[in-house]
Amino acid sequence: MEGLEQVPTEGIFFKKMIKDGKIIAKARPFDPGLGPDDPNRQEFDDVNRRARMTEDFAGLETDASFPIPERLAKLYRSVPKADGTYFSDTDVYYKADTSSDEIIGHLFLYKIAYDTLCEGENADTELGDIITDTVLRLAEHVLFNDYCLVDATGQPTTWGKMSREYFNSLFAWSDCPLNCLVLLCIFKLAYYLSGDEKWEKEYRKLALEPPYRYADLAGEYRERYKQEAVYQYRMAHPDADENDPNLDPDSKETAIRVQLILNYSDEEMAMLAYYLLFQLETDPFLLEKYRKGIDAWWISIRYGDNPLWTYIYRLAYPDTVGQEDLEKAAWALKRHPVDTRNWRSDHSFRKDLTILYGSRKRAFAFENKESGRFVALPLDERPHGKYNGCPFVMIGGDKEGRQLESSATYTLPYWLGRFHGMIEE
């Protein structure tokens, strides 16, 4: 909303409005003009670039008559504009090209909010009904649309595909172990909130039955990334000797390359999904499969010294993860900066670390080739950022500290650790 949070142009956004007495949502830019290359639309460069890759969304209209819950609408209807009027429903913008990584973040928060605010003696039943209704509508949407998030065109969004057809494509080969986790969480949480066996049956079908078996597929992430690292090396070095260790998926050299090409936001997605599954699942057979899956992620995550991921991993092994791990997580929290501006940090001068450059020109802190170990600097020594970034970066940030990051990198692990009894006063 104008005056509150500016609507970005990096994506597909629809504005709610009234047309011919009907409530609709219309895609920005509102005037299709002569297409993405119309000079009158050059201010929407980011939208235009996406339009060339997919389709021209400009001016597209869709029904938006479903009412916004009154409790949520009050959050903006009570906010005055600069001209003295108040924000209304027609000031609402919808993000159309949403993705599975956003969905898992929502599910994670829905579960926590429901358990802490909507149950017990002082339960907020109205909020509980809103959360339940939201999750069930999401589950119905995904089930009806062949396990995809579908936008106003009737087509799956760019990163909202969780269908078998997508999973069986080469493009999604390294992506599907993660996306199938999100899909399992949608239906498992729908069952948890509603008690409707329909969702439990759908969840168990996808988790265990052929041709899905997503509980097993979720555990293949690391192996697939190793194969991808070997493939990339082979493409870049077609004349490489057969004994080149970079062609061995189990070599130390390949393990190093995996770390350099990993999408570290995937680690965040996976740990949020496993938090839900280890909270909601009770079947020992499935739990063992999920432990195998989270162990594959832990190969990389354990070296990032992330307190939130440590607490979530402990939920998978409540009786075996040692006190040493909890002390390490507590130490990491103690090193969290009070000032969360993203100040410039450059450790390239250090003699005890080697710089390795990975994808997107990221500078990784590396111990040495003998150990093959990447180094996560303490939180108050490295560029500050969200937990969806690489923990091994040793150069980054801004000299002026112009970007303020959220303090959730401290508050979320701290209170989650307290809630699950891993941090004591």
Residue range 176-203, pLDDT digits in tens: 999 999 999 999 999 999 999 999 999 9
Residue range 82-133, pLDDT digits in tens: 899 999 999 998 888 888 999 999 999 999 999 999 999 999 999 999 999 9
**Given this model, what pLDDT does residue 363 score?**
83
Q: pLDDT above 70 covers what percent of the chain?
A: 89
pLDDT at 7 over 60: no
Give pTM, 2 decimals. 0.91
Q: Confidence class of residue 32 from pLDDT cuts 50, 70 and 90?
A: low
Residue range 51-64, pLDDT digits in tens: 444 456 778 889 99
**Given this model, what pLDDT does residue 46 score?**
54
CB 305 within 8 A of CB 327: no
Q: Confidence class of residue 158 from pLDDT cuts 50, 70 and 90?
A: confident
List the structure tokens of 102: 């956003």
Quote the distance between the C-alpha of residue 281 and its chain's center: 21
Domain boundaries, the chain: 1-97, 99-304, 341-405
**Given this model, what pLDDT does residue 367 score?**
79
